[in-house]
Every structure is written in C-alpha cells, then in structure tokens.
Amino acid sequence: MMNEQESKLLDILAGRFNGQVTVFAGEETLVLPVDEIAPAAQAFHDEFGFDLLSSLTTVDYGPEVDPRFHMVYRFTSIAGHLSLNVRVPVPGLSPEVPTLENVYHNANWNERESFDLFGIKFSGHSDLRRILMPQDWEGHPLRKDYPLGYEEPQFTFNYDEIDVRKPYAYRRGGK
C-alpha cells in the first residue's frame, strides 16, 4: 500500500539512482536504468534496510519492442515494514544484467531461472546454468516468440504475421 513515508523514500531513491516513479493500482514502482541496479541494490541492503529480496523475475514484451525485457524486483524491509518494487528495462538483443547474488544470496536461483526461461545473462553470476529445463535444452521457453508446445496455426489473414515467428524464419536470417 502506498503511504507518505514510502513515497518520500521512493523520491529520494529516484533522485539518487537516476530513476523514475510510476504508479499503478496503488503500487509504486521505481524504474531504474540497468547500470544502476547493482549499486542501488547494495544501497537498499546496506543503507535502507531492505534485507529480503522477495521476488525477482523478468517480463518479455516481444521481439518488436525495445527494450524487450524488463527485470522486476521486489525488496522487502522486514523491520521497516516496507516493500519496494523496482523495474529495470534491459535494452539490446543480448540482454545482460549485473547479478545481485553477492548482496542477496537468494538471487542466485532466481537469476538462474530468468536465464533459463528468458535467456538473460547475469554478469558476475557464480553458477549461471539452467535450473528448471534440462541442461541441453535449446531456446528459452518463457520468451514470447517461443511457441507453447505446438506450432501456431496460420490462416490467410495472419499468415505473414505468424510466419516471421516460426523457428525457420530465424534460421533464414529473419524476414
């Protein structure tokens, strides 16, 4: 829930780490540039008392959108009774994000999950292997251009639209 103390803290953090604050459904989110997340997380942990990394995940907006991926973090301060949503848009075709593993240990598996299912590279990660899918799996299943276990049916009205998303379209070098 949004309250005055939380809003004030967010403004301070936004000013310090070059971020912006967005509001949706009563939840405030701090949007940070990708090169600020590592120092910001360190400061959240050491200075602002956010001792628990509640959640870490990725959202894919599809290959047409840039930045395509957003990292979504949620930090919790147990003693301070506060929660902090952070969103980091990750630009580029080979997305790379600094790891938070050294600050929050449980980022280790959560980042492996994002690597496995979205193909985000976490620079500095100690053990960046697949975690849920088999080690020899190809592709990243939660990406929007990864079909759900079957091929999308093509009809005359959307033939071209779906054709560019087929695996062979990539092998041919895109459309």
Partner 1 sequence: MSQIEEVTLDGMSHLVSDRALKGETMLLNMGPQHPSTHGVLRLLLELDGETVVNAIPDIGFLHTGIEKNMEAKTYQKAEVMTDRMDYLNTTGNNLAYCLAIEKLVGLDVPERAQTLRVLLAELQRLASHLVWLGTSALDLAAMSDFMYCFREREMIMDIYELISGQRMMTTYIRPGGVWRDVPVEFETAVRELLKIMPRRIDEYESLLTKNPLFIDRTAGIGKISAEDAVNWGLTGACLRGSGVYYDIRKFAPYSGYEQYDFEVPLRTEGDVRARYLVRVAEMRQSVRIIQQALDKLPMGPVRSSNYKFVPPPRSEIGTSMEALIHHFKLWTEGFNAPAGSVYVAVESPKGEQGVFLEGNGGPKPWRIHFRNPSFDNLQALPVLAKGFLVADLVAIIGSIDIVLGDVDR
| List of residues contacting partner 1 (CB under 8 A) | 1, 24-27, 29, 51-55, 57, 59-60, 72, 74, 78, 81, 83, 85, 104-106, 108-110, 117, 126-127, 129-135, 141-142, 146, 148-149
Q: Which of residues 9 and 173 has its CB atom nearest to partner 1 in the complex?
A: 9
Omega into 33 within 30° of 0, i.e. cis? no
Distance of CA 24 to the CA centre of its chain: 18
Closest contact distance (angstroms) between CB of 67 and partner 1 is 15
Written as one string, the DSSP assignment of 58-104 is: EEE--TTSSS-EEEEEEEEETTTTEEEEEEEEE-SSS-EEE--TTTS
Residue 146 DSSP one-character state: S
d(CA 43, CA 131): 29
Q: Which of residues 38 and 131 has its CB atom nearest to partner 1 in the complex?
A: 131
Closest contact distance (angstroms) between CB of 167 and partner 1 is 16
Closest contact distance (angstroms) between CB of 4 and partner 1 is 17
Closest contact distance (angstroms) between CB of 173 and partner 1 is 27
Q: Which of residues 66 and 127 has its CB atom nearest to partner 1 in the complex?
A: 127
Q: Which of residues 59 and 162 has its CB atom nearest to partner 1 in the complex?
A: 59
Give 52's strand partners: 76
